[in-house]
Amino acid sequence: MIRIALVGQPNCGKSTIFNHLVGYKANTSNLPGTTVEYLKSETLINGKRAEVIDLPGTYSLSPVDQAETETRNFLRSGKVDAVLNVADASLLSRSLELTLQLLEMGIPLVVCLNMLDEAKRKGITVDLDKLSAELGVPVVPTIAVRGIGVKRVASQTIKAATSKVSPPSPVYSADVEAVIEELGDKLTGGMARRFDLPPRLLAIKLLDGDPDCLKRVKQESFGLYREANRLRDKLGKLRGRRGEEVLSAERHSKAMEIYERAATVGRPTVGIRDRLDALLMHKVWGYLFLGAIMYGLFFVVFKVGSLIEGPMMEWFNQAVTALGTVMPADSIWFAVMSGLIQGVAGALGFVLPYLIPFWLGLALLEDAGYLPRVGYLMDVFMHRVGLHGKSVIPFILGYGCSVPAVLATRILDSPRDRFVTAVLAVMVPCAARTTVILGLVGYFLGPTIAFALYVVNLFVVAIAGKIMTKVFPRVTPGLILEIPTYKVPSLRVITSKVWIQAREFIILAWPLLIGGSIVLSLFEYGHINYYLNLGLLPITWALGLPMAIGVTLIFGIFRKELTLIMLFQALGTTSVASVLSAGQMITFTLFVMFYIPCVATIIMLWHEFGMRKTALVLGFTTGTALLVGVIARGIASIIH
Amino acid sequence: MTLAQLGSGQSARVLDVEGGWGLRRNLEQLGIHPGDVVSVAGTGAFRGPILIEVNGSRVALGRGVAGRIRVEPL
């Protein structure tokens, strides 16, 4: 099996290429227990079986944030036969800095020059032969959105992988090269072998001031560590700047040099997309558009969802009634069958109708490149809660699912920001909790009240952020975020993204929903839920909810969607309005919005932050949920 | 003078970044190196982040970060 890794800077069109290579078969490997979040898939290229790995987008191989550290470690692990480096032709000189770092690693490499149409718009024409000659590796042009050139780049990569020929390492200025060589010679012995790196590469890393490598060398041999520091200082003196900046400056000027030789810059065409930001990132209009876009998304999701929820509910009520005519309603088989029907219909009726439009909308905004704009607009407000604009991206992903939201905190560079963002992101209602908000409050009390709950949620998250900032004082300098050019969203990328999520739901979550539904039915049959409800009485009592609801909260820890399906089960009816008052529905929904994250999220938190911090999150969220629930109950009782 | 003090539409040359290894690397990755020319494309509301254009790409920088980038106006 040939293993190919896709490496490229964020927004270079890497995932579009990946999509064209492997189609819809890809699996996310961001499941609990694995360390790197990436997509991989097997495919046939030129009749050879290949595994294609889509690594997270990375600006460089310097370990600035966690995604970059992981990409670097993965490439270094020796499990990759060839690298397919996707470079954005419209940002060629910057992209080449990553290419140079990849060349230093010595893994067979093919450069895929993507977004040539975009480059043309910017007035940039690239001489491919010249570029290929300068880099010493094949360069294949592609326009990924339209699938042009993808086959060719794939077969070139396979060729590179089977040839096993290392590409030529880039050569820097003579005086710098002399220092690299001097240090490299000293590392030729055991040290380079212990790192499993070529001596030249290790020397470059040490001269770059890579903190990980320096730390390890210091532990292994203090003499070499001192030598590395001495030579880095020497580099600094040669160039009259900080030692660790010299190599990156060399890379920068080398990249510029190659760029100037291989590309010619003419006049750019100014299009709509360039003018769009004048509106969407405007001091005033930007926020209006942001509000309108978010409300629009919410409204469409609600409309589509409730359109399907109504008839579905009717249909499955009839099915349960029909079931009662076939078998006695107090038999164990009736319990199993009605649990089964409710589990199946629950997913079809309440969950997927809201989830799929939501996933589609989010994927659309993500692919078009709108999310970084949200980060820019929200930076000011995020500062109020001790974070910065980049944290908005995990937040928005949190509206989809908490698990990728926790993972996405890796784009933040400080551990403190990561943790605080993760805590707040899991308090954002994920799509599963959205089904509870829309399917219960939205459906029975109307979309305006449901929308109001989202606003309440934002306030609570903001207050929670304030509290977190008191506990963990901020240390980070602030926002550094690329604002990429808008893209016409690719239908292919969006549908495959939604399909991967839907498939994961159908395979992993649906059986759980059905199983949970049957178990609850049996609990009821055997009167076990009475004891569970008794155990949860303190909570249901404090919230002023019927005791029968207690058990739904336990199931909700496994999957949040279960709370809604179980609620109908536990109350024995889908016409909730006849059993619960409006205040009770709101109180219940608010509690569900904040209390303990689901099991998958807990595992993810544990994996990312360790046991103690996870326990802290569980306590904090449950405490918040109780507090908010009790306040809601109080307000409801005053109004009524 | 720092980047944070520039107004919308102004250009400047980057002199130095006052900060640790991580911050400098982070900025370099996005195309902001000492010697580069940057221009301010917009500023956010309520002293929010500033939007700069550098080497053909656009980057949003928080006030704190921008305040650490020393520049000479052009």
DSSP A437: I
CB A254 within 8 A of CB A108: no
Contacts of B56 in chain A (CB under 8 A): 90-91, 93-94, 122
Cα(A457)–Cα(A218) distance, integer angstroms:
48
Spatial contact of A418 and A472, defined as CB atoms under 8 Å apart: no
Q: Where are the alpha helices (DSSP H) in A106-241?
A: 116-121, 128-135, 150-163, 174-187, 190-195, 199-208, 211-220, 222-239
Residue A27 above 60 pLDDT? no
Cβ-Cβ contacts under 8 Å for A434 (sequence gap 6 or more): A301, A354, A355, A358, A399
Provide CB contacts within 8 A for A50, sequence distance 6+: A1, A2, A3, A4, A42, A43, A44, A158, A161
B56 touches chain A (CB under 8 A): yes
Kindly state the percentage of chain A with pLDDT values over 90: 20
In whole angstroms, what is the distance from residue A145 CA to residue A142 CA? 9
In whole angstroms, how far apart are CA A454 and each of A358, A494, A631, A638? 15, 25, 16, 22
Question: How many angstroms separate the Cα of A230 from the Cα of each of A186, A202, A208, A363, B56?
Answer: 13, 15, 13, 50, 37
Which sequence spans correspond to the domains of chain A? 2-163, 174-265, 285-475+496-639
Q: Would you tell me the crossing angle of helices A222-239 and A211-220 to the nearest 10 degrees? A: 140
Which helix (H) or strand (E) segment holds residue A114: the answer is strand A109-114
**Would you state the pLDDT for residue A36?**
46
pLDDT at A557: 85
| CB A327, CB A333: distance < 8 Å | yes
Nearest residue, CB atoms, A413 vs list B26, B45, B63: B26
Phi/psi region, residue A49 (left: phi>0; alpha: psi -120 to 50; beta: rest), is beta
**Using alpha carbons only, how large is chain A's radius of gyration in Å?**
28
Distance CA A265, CA A125 (A): 6
**Record: fold of B3-73:** SH3 type barrels. (2.30.30)
**Tens-place pLDDT, residues A372-396:** 898 889 888 888 777 888 888 788 8
Helix-helix angle A352-368:A392-400, to 10 degrees: 150
pLDDT in tens, A469-522: 888 776 666 788 888 888 888 888 788 888 877 887 788 778 877 887 788 788
- For residue A180, which phi and psi values (nearest 5 degrees)? -60, -45
pLDDT band at residue A244, thresholds of 50, 70 and 90?
Answer: confident
pLDDT of residue A30: 40
Residue-level pLDDT at A271: 72
Choose the most confident range, by mean pLDDT, from A315-324, A326-335, A428-437: A428-437
pLDDT digits (tens, 9 = 90+) for A543-593: 988 888 888 888 888 778 778 877 887 777 777 788 888 899 999 999 999
Per residue in A397-422, pLDDT tens?
788 778 778 877 877 777 888 899 99
CB atoms within 10 A of CB A96: 28
Q: Name the burial class of residue A76, with classes exposed (0-12), middle (13-18) and buried (19+) by CB atoms within 10 angstroms of its CB.
A: middle
Q: Where are the alpha helices (DSSP H) in A385-445?
A: 392-400, 402-408, 415-427, 431-436, 443-445
What tokens appear for B66 in the block? 């921008």
Is A633:A590 a contact under the CB 8 Å cutoff? no
Cα A293 from chain centroid (whole Å):
21
Query: Does residue A455 carry a pLDDT above 80?
Result: yes
Give the closest-approach CA distance of A605 to chain B in angstroms.
Answer: 25
Strands B11-17 and B37-43: antiparallel
Contact criterion met (CB < 8 Å) for A483 and B60: yes
Chain B residue numbers touching A249 (CB-CB < 8 A): 33-34
Domain ranges across chain B: 3-73
The reply to whether A612 touches chain B by the CB within 8 Å rule is no
> Would you tell me the crossing angle of helices A550-558 and A560-571 to the nearest 10 degrees?
150
Assess B69–A contact: CB distance below 8 Å, yes or no.
Answer: no
- The pLDDT tens digits of the residues spanning B5-61 come to 888 889 999 998 888 777 888 888 888 888 889 999 888 877 788 999 888 788 999
> What local confidence, expressed as pLDDT, does residue A313 receive?
75
Which pLDDT tens digit goes with each residue over A115-147?
A: 888 888 888 999 999 999 999 999 999 988 888
Highest mean pLDDT among A93-102, A324-333, A361-370: A93-102
Q: Which fold has domain A2-163?
A: Rossmann fold (3.40.50)
Complex-level ipTM: 0.92
Which chain B positions have a beta carbon within 8 Å of A287's beta carbon?
45
Q: So what's the pLDDT on residue A336?
A: 86
Chain B residues lying within 8 Å of A252, measured CB to CB: 28, 33
Q: For residues A445 and A433, give the distance between their C-alpha atoms in angstroms, rounded to a whole number.
A: 16
Question: Are residues A380 and B46, on separate chains, in Cβ contact within 8 Å?
Answer: yes
User: Which of A555, A350, A543 minimizes the C-alpha distance to A438?
Assistant: A350
pLDDT the model gives residue A384: 79
> What is the amino acid identity at position A519?
V
Report pLDDT for B31: 84
Average pLDDT value for residue range A10-24: 81
Among all chains, which residue has been given the structure tokens 């009736």? A334
* Rama region for A318: left / alpha / beta (φ>0; ψ in -120 to 50; rest): alpha
Asked if A438 and A450 touch (Cβ cutoff 8 Å), the reply is: yes
Q: What 3 state SS string does A542-566 have?
A: HHCCCHHHHHHHHHHHHCHHHHHHH
Asked if pLDDT for residue A197 goes beyond 70, the answer is yes
- Cα angle A278, B58, A38; round to 5: 115
Which residues, in sequence order, are CB contacts of A552 under 8 Å at separation 6+?
A562, A563, A566, A567, A569, A570
